[in-house]
């Protein structure tokens, strides 16, 4: 078991925003075993001097499509039907980009043929180093519903329950359902949530309109993906139910900025522009009211690559979230959205040793997130390689 002693660092208490100055972090295996003063030397540990750096929890991207192409240049050729080997190579690239940017936890919100679960198993076995992954496997949707190409179509309460059990049996860490345009009834949606909760699995729901967001809330889903618009009463319901919003705000911004780099068609642009305006109007209300927000990017769908979570953090800051709150979204609350708040998202004794080391205080300038010195993922020390993948992407229809 590897044992590290990391002295001379400033550690962010992500809950209070206070810096713990001149501390040392002790890591044994995957866990943080203690935080002590820097002069309390542990000679049995390998010493890695952080030389006055600033340390915060590893970043989390709570909405990606792990095995898909994020580069904008393939938007018009995007295909789910490429061979498994090319999808695997693409995923290795995606994981490297994410890890280099300080992301230590990813939530895969749907991949063709349950590839996300297979990749997760390979990482858990140590075949490849990447962020911690949780995956929904096949997402659930109504017949010919949103992205039914990478999911399983369901109809009827009993079939919905069976589908949930099937995905959990096949290794799903959570259940993802799409219901916009609305194709599932409230009874079907409630059945999905109730069945998943029996197995202590969270449910994420893609919802894109006020009606679909309200249905998701009434069904008591755990996270709402993309969701806007919403109103004051819905915000109060979110707070009561502890619902987490994953707005993918930066995705909306970038998609509307240049649709030629995305998958949407020209005639669909007004719908996306309305979504962006709804987010701009509604997110400040959620931020100010204390609704939990998680950072998700929809990376894997053009135009976003797997380092886009920093853009999401900055976009939320630009719309009104103070720097600390924006960082809480990207760490503590996103870990909760992944169902791993007890292990990730904070730097504390007993938590997994997943954190990033920065040269300056990110609360003074959030842009320092681009300058990660060291990534520690489950006790593994990684020097970001900045491999500099070109803007051309691996693509093959095999």
Question: pLDDT tens digits for 202-227?
Answer: 999 999 899 999 999 999 999 999 99
Residue 343, CA distances (Å) to 2, 131, 227, 319 in order? 19, 14, 27, 29
Q: What is the pLDDT of residues 320-349, one digit of tens each?
A: 999 999 999 999 999 999 999 999 999 999
Residue 393 lies in a domain: no
Residues 308 and 231 in one domain: yes
Q: If we measure between CA atoms, which residue out of 282, 274, 190, 200 comes closest to residue 233?
A: 282
pLDDT for residue 23: 97
Does residue 390 or residue 304 have the better pLDDT? 304
- Supply the angle between the helices 157-169 and 186-198 in degrees, to the nearest 10: 30
Does residue 93 or residue 245 have the better pLDDT? 245
Distance, CA of 338 to CA of 60 (rounded, Å)? 9
Q: What is the pLDDT of residues 102-115, one digit of tens each?
A: 999 999 999 888 88
First-last CA distance in the chain: 42
Under the banding of pLDDT at 50, 70 and 90, the label for residue 145 is: confident
Cis, peptide link before residue 313, omega less than 30° from 0: no
Q: What is the pLDDT of residues 244-275, one digit of tens each?
A: 999 999 999 999 998 888 877 888 899 899 99
Q: What stretches of 170-268 show up as alpha helix (H) in DSSP? A: 186-198, 210-218, 232-241, 249-257
Residues 65 and 46 in one domain: no
Q: Indicate if the pLDDT at residue 188 is higher than 90.
A: yes
DSSP type of residue 183: -
**Domain membership of residue 367 as a residue range:** 3-57+346-382
**Diameter of the chain by CA atoms?**
65
Query: Contact 157/187 with Cβ under 8 angstroms?
Result: yes
pLDDT for residue 323: 97
Residues 234 and 250 in one domain: yes
Mean pLDDT of 1-14: 96
Residues 91 and 122 in one domain: yes
Q: Out of 88-92, 141-145, 234-238, pick the least confident.
A: 88-92
Residues 167 and 30 in one domain: no
Residues 217 and 244 in one domain: yes
The residues with which 245 forms a beta bridge, in sequence order, are: 224, 293
Residue 378 lies in a domain: yes
Strands 355-358 and 53-57: antiparallel
Residues 41 and 63 in one domain: no
CB atoms within 10 A of CB 357: 21
User: Which CATH number fits the domain that encloses residue 182?
Assistant: 3.20.20.140
Residue 389 lies in a domain: no
Residues 297 and 154 in one domain: yes
Query: Contact 163/151 with Cβ under 8 angstroms?
Result: no
Under the banding of pLDDT at 50, 70 and 90, the label for residue 80 is: low
Residues 43 and 162 in one domain: no
**Phi and psi dihedrals of 234, rounded to 5?**
-70, -35
Run of H or E including 204 = strand 203-206
pLDDT for residue 392: 34
Residues 227 and 142 in one domain: yes
Strands 355-358 and 374-377: antiparallel
Strand arrangement, sheet containing 59-64: 59-64, 103-108, 132-135
User: Which CATH number fits the domain that encloses residue 12?
Assistant: 2.30.40.10
Mean pLDDT computed over every residue of the chain = 91
Distance, CA of 335 to CA of 18 (rounded, Å)? 20
DSSP type of residue 332: I
Cis, peptide link before residue 85, omega less than 30° from 0: no
Residue 263 lies in a domain: yes
Residues 71 and 25 in one domain: no
User: For the chain, how many structural domains are there in total?
Assistant: 2
Residues 39 and 64 in one domain: no
């Amino acid at each position: 078991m590897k044992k590290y002693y990391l002295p001379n660092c400033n550690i962010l208490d992500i809950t209070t925003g206070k810096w713990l100055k001149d501390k040392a972090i002790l890591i044994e295996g995957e866990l943080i075993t203690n935080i002590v003063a820097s002069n309390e030397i542990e000679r049995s540990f390998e010493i890695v001097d952080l030389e006055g750096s600033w340390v915060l929890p590893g970043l989390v991207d709570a909405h990606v499509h792990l095995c898909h192409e994020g580069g904008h240049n393939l938007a018009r050729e995007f295909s789910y039907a490429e061979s498994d080997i090319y999808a695997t190579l693409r995923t290795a690239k995606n994981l490297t980009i994410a890890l280099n940017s300080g992301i230590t936890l990813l939530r895969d919100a749907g991949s063709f043929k349950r590839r996300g679960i297979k990749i997760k198993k390979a990482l858990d076995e140590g075949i490849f180093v990447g962020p911690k992954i949780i995956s929904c496997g096949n997402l659930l949707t109504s017949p010919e519903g949103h992205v039914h190409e990478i999911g399983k179509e369901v109809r009827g309460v009993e079939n919905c329950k069976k589908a949930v059990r099937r995905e959990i049996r096949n290794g799903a860490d959570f259940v993802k359902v799409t219901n916009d345009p609305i194709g599932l009834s409230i009874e079907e949606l409630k059945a999905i949530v109730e069945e998943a909760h029996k197995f202590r699995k969270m449910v994420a729901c893609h919802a894109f309109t006020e009606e679909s967001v309200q249905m998701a809330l009434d069904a008591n889903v755990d996270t709402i993906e993309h969701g806007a618009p919403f109103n004051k009463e819905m915000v109060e319901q979110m707070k009561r139910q502890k619902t987490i919003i994953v707005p993918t705000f930066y995705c909306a911004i970038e998609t509307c900025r240049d649709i030629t780099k995305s998958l949407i068609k020209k005639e669909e642009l007004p719908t996306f522009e309305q979504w962006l305006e709804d987010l701009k109007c509604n997110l400040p209300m959620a931020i100010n009211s204390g609704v939990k927000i998680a950072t998700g990017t929809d990376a894997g769908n053009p135009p976003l690559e797997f380092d886009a979570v920093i853009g999401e953090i900055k976009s939320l800051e630009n719309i009104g979230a103070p720097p600390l709150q924006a960082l809480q979204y990207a760490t503590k609350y996103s870990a909760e959205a992944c169902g791993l708040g007890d292990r990730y998202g904070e730097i504390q004794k007993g938590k997994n040793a997943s954190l990033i080391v920065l040269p300056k205080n990110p609360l003074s300038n959030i842009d320092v997130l681009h300058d990660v010195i060291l990534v520690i993922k489950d006790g593994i020390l990684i020097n970001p390689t900045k491999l500099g993948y070109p803007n051309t992407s691996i693509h093959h229809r095999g």
